[in-house]
Structure 1
Amino acid sequence: MKEKILEMLQLQNELNSDTNGPNWREDITKNGKIINWKRCIYMESAELIDSFPWKHWKNIEADLDIENIKIELVDIWHFIMSYLLKFHSPLELTNLIDNLKDSKSDIHIPKKWEFEDNKKINEYLDIFEELMALALIKNDSEPYQESLLETFFKACDSVGLNFDDLYKLYIGKNVLNKFRQDHGYKEGNYKKIWNNKEDNVIMQEILYKNEDIDFNSLYNELENIYSKTVQND
């Protein structure tokens, strides 16, 4: 497990350096843009909450998007690691994560949403709103960092996202993030919808069909599908 944790931290460090420049730990990009990792966490948490059918005024028979919740948690994981890497070496942080990764939630969200589950929506959303609230706190103490990690892993447990699945999806999203950057994401030239599907969904489909796929093979598979999509457009 520690090897997987360390690998994710190293990949995140590389991604941050490639995307934002060598001074990203000082909360500024190579282009002079301010970085606020906590804001990233609470904004992604808000997007996650929108995967629940919580809106009483709109599409009241909407279903739960459990797979998107997992992807949003992986996005949050990118930002939590980035935030914590400002204060710890990858090795130090590996030990901290290893101690908290098995944190369990008292709430378990159903994979198949029934209309009666709407009565429990506040209960189901509580852990994600707690994560959002933590990200709004202006505190960087070690107990605070531990609380942020513990709450994140409880949120993962509530939707059945175990550590191995988090690792697999993180590797997939890391490849996708690199792919996006290489294909003009920051410049606004990248197409996120491929054949009427979001690229996140395409990435997940590839992972589910090829559980042992490695970084380079996944990148090449995305390249193959994307190039055909661009040609068709």
Structure 2
Amino acid sequence: MLSTTQLNTMLELQDKMNTKVNPQWLTAGYQYLRAAMIEAVEGIEHHGWKWWKAQTKDLPQLQMELVDIWHFALSAIIIEFDGDIQRSAKTISEQLESGETSVKFDGKDYHFSQQGILDNLELLSGLCAAKRFSVPLFIQIVEQADMTPDELYRQYVGKNILNFFRQDNGYKEGSYIKIWQGQEDNEHLVEVLNSLDIQLQDYSNLVYQGLRQRYPN
């Protein structure tokens, strides 16, 4: 289960990134759950669902879609609580601790703990289309995609910090160097993430510092 520290870290990072894009993002009317719905459908594509042709599941891409869904879901939750990070974290924790294994949608109970990942992704996309999000359902999908909550946290923080790092080093202006020492920045990120304990209180700051130490002056 995601810890309070992990939830607060992710929510704060999401708020900072959204604010970097638009300081008035809380009232801009962005459709974050619509974006999450699209990512869920893309996750179905990466898994493979077509019975009339041979398909290979692309697990890393599916996991990346889930990380993107979580970015959008956190944004929607923060908006729901008018930017209050503590209340947002408390609500997510309560949902995770509820032991909920089903959701009611369109008058029908869906027991997502008994469904496969494709049915659950479809259910999640339907809920998002209806402007709803179930954290327990999402975590069920995460685990079905061979990710632990800790791995979700690790990948989420990594992607978020890399976005910050790129922006801080000229990505928008076109001066950012994406490849150095023979590796792309996301490869350097993986090495930094693998070198750090995710339980560290200042984990996200250490990820940023790790990238900065490697980046060419």
Is the shorter-chain TM-score for this pair beyond 0.5, marking a shared fold?
A: yes
Whether the 8 Å contact between 1:107 and 1:158 is mirrored in structure 2 is: no
Shift of 1:80: 0.4
Per-residue CA deviation, residues 133-171 of structure 1 (Å, 9 max, x unaligned), is: 22212x4xxxx4xx5323212211222322222222221
Whether the 8 Å contact between 1:107 and 1:124 is mirrored in structure 2 is: no
What does 1:62-211 align with in structure 2 at a 5 Å threshold? Answer: 62=56, 64-88=57-81, 89-101=84-96, 106=113, 123-137=116-130, 139=131, 144=132, 147-186=133-172, 200=186, 203-211=189-197
Per-residue CA deviation, residues 164-199 of structure 1 (Å, 9 max, x unaligned), is: 222222211111121232345556776778899875
Whether the 8 Å contact between 1:101 and 1:163 is mirrored in structure 2 is: no
**TM-score, reference length from structure 1:** 0.68
AA aligned opposite 2:18: N
**TM-score, reference length from structure 2:** 0.72
RMSD: 3.4
Shift of 1:54: 3.4
Shift of 1:78: 0.9
Structure 2 segments unaligned to the other structure (5+ residues): 102-111
AA aligned opposite 1:39: R
AA aligned opposite 2:8: L
Structure-2 separation of matches of 1:148 and 1:7: 20
The verdict on how the C-alpha distance between 1:148 and 1:124 changes in structure 2, with shifts beyond 3 A counting, is closer
Structure-2 separation of matches of 1:73 and 1:196: 29
Aligned length: 198
State percent identity of aligned pairs.
32
> Equivalent residue of 1:101, what SS?
helix
Structure-2 separation of matches of 1:191 and 1:48: 30
**Structure 1 residue aligned with 2:15, among 5, 13, 16?**
13
